[in-house]
Structure 1
Amino acid sequence: MALTEVAVERLRVGVFIHLDTPWMQHPFLTSKFKLRSEKQLKVLRSLGVKLVQVDAERSDCAPWEPAEVPPPSPEVGLESALDELAEETLAIAADPDLDAETAALWEEKNQRIRKLKERRARLNQCAKRYTTSVISARKLFPLLESMPGEALRAANELVAGMIDELGADQETTVQLINLKHLEENSYFHAINVVALALVLGRELALNVRDLRLLGLGALFHDLGHQQLPSQILLKKGPFTRPELMLYRRHPAIGLQMAKRMPTLPRPVMEIIGKHHEHLDGSGYPQGLREQDLGMLTRVISIVNRYDNLCNGFAARRGLSPHQAVSLMYAKEKSHYDGQVLSAFISCLGVYPPGTVVRLEDERLAVVTSVNRDDLAKPNVLVYAPDVPKEEAVILDLSEEELGVRESLHVGALNQDQVEYLNVSDKLSYYFEKKKHGRRG
């Protein structure tokens, strides 16, 4: 990227500039942007900036050539020319429209800062609830063999608490939870599936009873993993055929374990035994078809597949959230209930939370939440090294007339970008209650 130093008086609308002024000393949302109006030019001149860097590749036009900039009148002497320049500067500073424009830019910038701080506070609460749920799951699973009744009581309590957090009269949105300690992988996966399943169940208008069954089934769906050798669950790389056959027995193994819990509801047992079955008969372990699979099982099969794709199985590298949704819709659609899959995409969007994207103006960003009015135009947090990480810009792409050019895997980012956007190659999900009419 070649930058050229240009005098401010040569700038015009359409030129993309890099402003060296510290971020907190100018009213623009970022220090790198395309000039879109004469008012922006006036505001820029009022800052007293003499030179800026121009990015020709991202500009719609070239700056004015020096010869094209109107020179002072030849009959006016140097002193008069300086007086004229001073008067022009004073006129810009006194321009009421400029004052209003500058104030509007500062207000927009401050609103973005306040919005980000509020969002960080909400996400911190989501992360705390997520962590609490993982700790509860970690405590109850060891009790399944020795105290199945106590384990089931704790599981029901955990799921009921998450449903209460989901709320009854509020819209919910899936949120990315960034946690650094992912050593308890099976418990993180279980809570991911519970959280995503409950949001999807609410989208499908399931009643509270069915939501409880759905959550319980999501929590226990991989019960059979407990009887598999660790060398299978933790293996790096593809399975051998015998290993694959053994792994594919885990739904049946889990069902046998579930039968030793006499009070476990039948729909939950179905989820445990059938969560890898497909509507077209291509699943396992029995190759069942549509007529054999209940609605709750259909929900879990989609959510479980999505989380496995994003996080990979064991140590294998996962797909980006966008890649996972695209694969499921484009290549695996026949596996799933079409209505449930469409509802799932409505919950997550075309670019689900956690997707790293390159915008049409080449900036990098991470998707923070879904825009239900336009699933292809999510809310994103933008990578801008000139802006402090704590005050990073969040854009609603539907309001910016800006789109996504492509999705990227986190592996394509450098370490500074990873830290700034706060993304990792292991994704965890929870949900946030959003009052109607509130976005971002």
Structure 2
Amino acid sequence: MALQRVAIDELQLGSYVVAVTRQRGDIVVKDAGWVRSPEALALLKQKGVLEVAIDPAKQLPAAPAPTEAPAEPKPPVPPKPPRISFEQEINKAELAFSAGTQSLQASFPKLLEQEELDFHELSSVSNRLLESTKRNSQALLFLQQVSQQNDALLQHSLSCACLMAAFAARLKVPAEQAQLYTLAALLHDSGALLLQQLYPNQPYLDSDATSYSIPMLQQQPDCPAELLQMIEEHCLSLAQQQSLGGKMLAIVNSYSKLTAAGKNSLQAAASLKKAEGKTLDSELCAEFLQCVGLYSPGTVVRLKSGKLGLVLENHSVHPDKPKLKLFYHSLHRHHLPAKLLDLSKQSEEVIESCADLKKYQLELQHYL
């Protein structure tokens, strides 16, 4: 095949250059050869080559375009459960709470008698609490605050489980771990059963109950080791708490006992802050208090107008503007028609403080 003259701007990679036919400098092509790279082509232009003679018969085939490895398919993101209103969730939350009550009522006697617990059923209860929390955590927080069980230990265990479920959701704890943490909260104080039997009407410390809880649960063949670690750690100093679950349980247990002793949410929060760095983790404490809210659901508050309201649901942005159910006027000393009031949607009513219903000879159960 005859040689062809090609302007340097039209020279293609893979061309076989025989000679320089037109140029501005004095470059000499001593040996014929292929232009294999963009860098070689740029060098010819740099040296002033304007035209070359090529042998088309020796043109190299175009290099195949690099193929990108197919991207690995991303795992599907599970859809986020839609958040439903407090009013929609409260009935479902009550069913989950009731299931927890029944399960513990059946499990506690078995622990005392050293019978085998049904951990599958207990885990199912934990999952129901967690599912309610995912839909709207305020409903369970409300129930754990206002429920009144005749059995103080049962009340405390359920309260801790509800608080733990909400706390785990706040921290985005993976589902399997969250279920285990909630189960630990349900069973953490089970040693108190034996203490109450051995020493009726005698006060006891958390560490006393734990010293009985661990051996009782160790006898259960299906009891996870991590659950035992959490229970063991929750009443130790902060330096001795090695697991996230143990640190969370320490906070949950403390808050539940404070509110059970009659402290309102503001007073309980102040007590938690005093324990930070000693028995409670500071960062986790801050997250927990954000979780339960400035005025936790189930708290009775007094407005500056004198009206009393029961906190149903906290606002996600404005902690001082929860949704309330008004029921009493503390200045005029009379009941009000039950009315929902969302403080975030008006500016007339402002919370003055938490309220103690005993001061007005009122019982909370009458206004739920």
Q: TM-score, normalised by structure 1?
A: 0.56
Equivalent residue, structure 2, for 1:435: none
The number of aligned residues is: 277
Letter in 2 for 1:322: L
**Change in 2 beyond 3 A, CA 1:388/1:128:** farther
Aligned match for 2:137, one of 153, 172, 177: 172
Confirm whether residue 141 of structure 1 aligns to residue 108 of structure 2.
Answer: yes
Query: Whole-Å Cα distance in 2 between the matches of residues 337 and 419 of structure 1?
Result: 34
Secondary structure of the corresponding residue to residue 301 of structure 1: helix
Asked whether the 8 Å contact 2:86–2:136 carries over to 1, the reply is no
Confirm whether residue 327 of structure 1 aligns to residue 293 of structure 2.
Answer: no
Deviation at 1:347, TM superposition (A): 1.3
Asked whether the 8 Å contact 1:143–1:151 carries over to 2, the reply is no
**Change in 2 beyond 3 A, CA 1:355/1:163:** closer
Aligned match for 1:257, one of 216, 222, 229: 216
Secondary structure of the corresponding residue to residue 324 of structure 2: strand
Asked whether the 8 Å contact 1:384–1:392 carries over to 2, the reply is no
Asked whether the 8 Å contact 1:371–1:378 carries over to 2, the reply is yes
Between structure 1 and structure 2, the one with the greater Rg is 2
| Structure 2: tracts of 5 or more residues without a match | 1-84
Equivalent residue, structure 2, for 1:426: none
Alignment map for 1:4-403 (pairs within 5 Å): 122-144=89-111, 148-167=115-134, 170=135, 172-173=137-138, 174-177=140-143, 182-230=149-197, 234-235=201-202, 239=203, 244=204, 248-279=207-238, 289-290=239-240, 292-312=241-261, 318-329=262-273, 331-334=274-277, 335-384=279-328, 389=337, 391-397=338-344, 399-400=346-347, 402-403=349-350
Letter in 1 for 2:152: N
Q: Which has the higher contact order (CA 8 A, sep 6+)?
A: 1
Query: Whole-Å Cα distance in 1 between the matches of residues 130 and 87 of structure 2?
Result: 23
Query: Whole-Å Cα distance in 2 between the matches of residues 119 and 369 of structure 1?
Result: 7
Query: Whole-Å Cα distance in 2 between the matches of residues 366 and 163 of structure 1?
Result: 24
**Change in 2 beyond 3 A, CA 1:299/1:176:** same
**Change in 2 beyond 3 A, CA 1:153/1:259:** same
Deviation at 1:181, TM superposition (A): 5.6
- Deviation track 1:47-83 (CA, whole Å, cap 9, x = no partner) reads xxxxxxxxxxxxxxxxxxxxxxxxxxxxxxxxxxxxx
Query: Whole-Å Cα distance in 2 between the matches of residues 142 and 394 of structure 1?
Result: 44
Deviation at 1:398, TM superposition (A): 5.8
| Structure 1: tracts of 5 or more residues without a match | 1-117, 280-288, 313-317, 423-440
Root-mean-square deviation (CA, aligned residues, Å) is 2.9
Query: Whole-Å Cα distance in 1 between the matches of residues 365 and 165 of structure 2?
Result: 30
Query: Whole-Å Cα distance in 1 between the matches of residues 179 and 162 of structure 2?
Result: 12
